[in-house]
Amino acid sequence: MQTEAERNELPWLIYGATGTTGRLVVESALAQGQRPIVAGRDGAAVRALAEQHGLPSAVVSLDDRAGLEAVLRRSSRVLHAAGPFSRTAASMLDACLATATPYLDMSGEVDSVADVLAHDEAARRRKIPLIAGAGFGVTAGDCIAAHVARRYPRATRLRIGIDAHNGRRSPGAAVSTLDVLSGGGAWIESGRLVRGPLAHDRFRATIGERSETFIAAPMAEAVAAFQTTGIANVVAGIPVSPLVASVMRWVSPILRAVARRPALRRFVANRKPSAPETTPLRSRVWALAADDQGGAASVLEMGEGYAFAADAIVLAAQAIGQQPLAGAFTPASAFGPDFVLRIQGVERRDLTEGEQP
Q: Summarize pLDDT for 268-314 with one digit per residue, the tens.
A: 455 666 556 556 788 999 999 999 999 999 999 999 999 999 999 99
Q: What is the reported pLDDT for 197?
A: 87
90-99, 240-249, 329-338, 341-350, range with the lowest pLDDT: 240-249
Percent of the chain exceeding pLDDT 90 equals 70
pLDDT at 185 over 90: no
Cβ atoms of 149 and 231 closer than 8 Å:
yes
- What one-character-per-residue DSSP string does 272-327 give? PPPPPP-S---EEEEEEEEETTEEEEEEEEES-HHHHHHHHHHHHHHHTTSS---E
What CA–CA distance (Å, rounded) separates 95 from 75? Answer: 12
- What one-character-per-residue DSSP string does 40-85 give? ES-HHHHHHHHHHHT--EEE--TT-HHHHHHHHTT-S-EEE--S-H
Q: Summarize pLDDT for 138-172 with one digit per residue, the tens.
A: 999 999 999 999 999 999 999 999 998 877 666 65
Q: What is the reported pLDDT for 125?
A: 98
Q: pTM, whole model, 2 decimals?
A: 0.90
CB neighbours of residue 138 within 10 Å: 32
What CA–CA distance (Å, rounded) separates 60 from 248? Answer: 42
Rounded mean pLDDT of 305-333?
96
Ordered domains of the chain (ranges, CATH): 4-136+307-341 (3.40.50.720), 140-304+344-355 (3.30.360)
pLDDT at 3 over 60: yes
Q: What is the reported pLDDT for 354?
A: 47
What CA–CA distance (Å, rounded) separates 42 from 16? Answer: 9
pLDDT band at 184 (very low <50, low <70, confident <90, very high): confident
Longest dimension (CA), the chain: 62
5-9, 13-17, 80-84, range with the lowest pLDDT: 5-9
Average pLDDT, the chain: 89
What CA–CA distance (Å, rounded) separates 112 from 250? Answer: 27
pLDDT band at 2 (very low <50, low <70, confident <90, very high): confident
Name beta bridge partners: 268: none
What CA–CA distance (Å, rounded) separates 145 from 288? Answer: 7
What CA–CA distance (Å, rounded) separates 240 from 30? Answer: 37
Report helix, strand or coil for 158.
strand
What CA–CA distance (Å, rounded) separates 167 from 149? Answer: 31
CB neighbours of residue 52 within 10 Å: 11
